[in-house]
Amino acid sequence: MISFDFDYYQAETAEEAVEKYLELVDDNKNVSYFNGGTEIVTYARKDKMNFDAVIDIKNIPECTVLKEANDEITIGASISLNKVVEKNYFPLLSESSKVIADHTTRNQITIGGNITGRLPFKEALLPLLVAEAKVKTYGQEGFKTRPINEVFDKRMKLAKEEILLQIIIDKEKADLPYYQNRKVKQSDTDYPIMHMAALKDNGEIKFALSSLCAFPFRNKEIENILNDDTITREEKIDQTIDNFPVPINSNLRGGKEYKEMIFRNSLNDCLDQLRGEN
């Protein structure tokens, strides 16, 4: 059970939510936005998180959109992972989403929560990075729509009062050939030790990775290496690893040597499938 008290607000609009947020912060209160709640409730129970108030954003209209129109896919931040998978507008996103946690929990985990939460795996983020999705937010500076690759750097760099409202993906990108692979310590229902997502966009590989290192990433240097026709496969894999922003880490689920082996095999597989070379 959660053993500290907090207030709960249910916002009906983005403006309302931000206004309340700022009002509470002004009053020296610790505030958290509340979406699916799986992270907040479990963290709060163990006192890993503490707040004076939560603002529930699930009723904000923008957050509940799930549609495909005008060559754009719009997914509200409060859409559950299962709904994302069910509608399957973006197959790679479905693949990356349906392996997160377990089926029941995916009815509660929202795509917004997975991307902006504290857990470092952010598996639903990877397809969005490689598909160059946009994120629509609302904060003190009003509504903003920006490429996700500009907002994400180790984590989603939003202003503290800023709410992630929607994710917008080009239909064209969503239909591109893709590769997805996820590895675990032993049980499939577990945090991963590696999650890889890649697209082939106009012959070029777009590549994103999480769980292998301390945070997810997609970077240009690696993509240049992967798309470089002048070096061997072995060199590609070696140089990719050299260009990780941080080294592969050892943790409860896997040691770095094993994780590296897994990664090499998967990257090999990815390149086979997307670039068809040997």
Candidate residues 227, 243, 265, 273; the one interacting with another protein per rule CB under 8 A: 265
From the list 30, 88, 189, 224, which residue makes contact with another protein (rule: CB under 8 A)?
189
What's the closest the beta carbon of residue 224 comes to another protein, in angstroms? 27
Q: Which long-range contacts (CB under 8 A, 24 or more apart) does 22-31 make?
A: 22/140, 22/161, 24/52, 24/53, 25/160, 25/161, 29/53, 31/55
Interaction between residue 249 and another protein (CB under 8 A)? no
Asked if residue 252 binds another protein (CB under 8 A), the reply is: yes
Q: What 3-state DSSP class applies to 250? A: coil
- Asked whether position 4 contacts another protein by CB under 8 A, the answer is yes
- Does residue 20 touch another protein according to CB under 8 A? yes
* C-alpha span between 177 and 272 (Å, rounded): 13
User: How far is residue 128's CA from residue 180's CA, in Å, rounded to a whole number?
Assistant: 13
Among the listed ranges 110-118, 125-133, 203-211, 256-264, the one in contact with another protein (CB under 8 A) is 256-264
Contact by Cβ (8 Å): 19, 9: no
Helices (H) and strands (E) in the chain, counts: 11, 13
Quick check: 261 binds another protein (CB under 8 A)? yes
Quick check: 155 and 125 in contact, CB under 8 A?
Answer: no
> Quick one: 219 or 268, whose CB is closer to another protein?
268
Q: Which residues bind another protein (CB under 8 A)?
A: 1-12, 16, 20, 34, 37-38, 41-42, 44-45, 47, 54, 56, 58, 98, 101-105, 107-108, 183, 185-191, 252, 254-255, 257-258, 261-262, 265
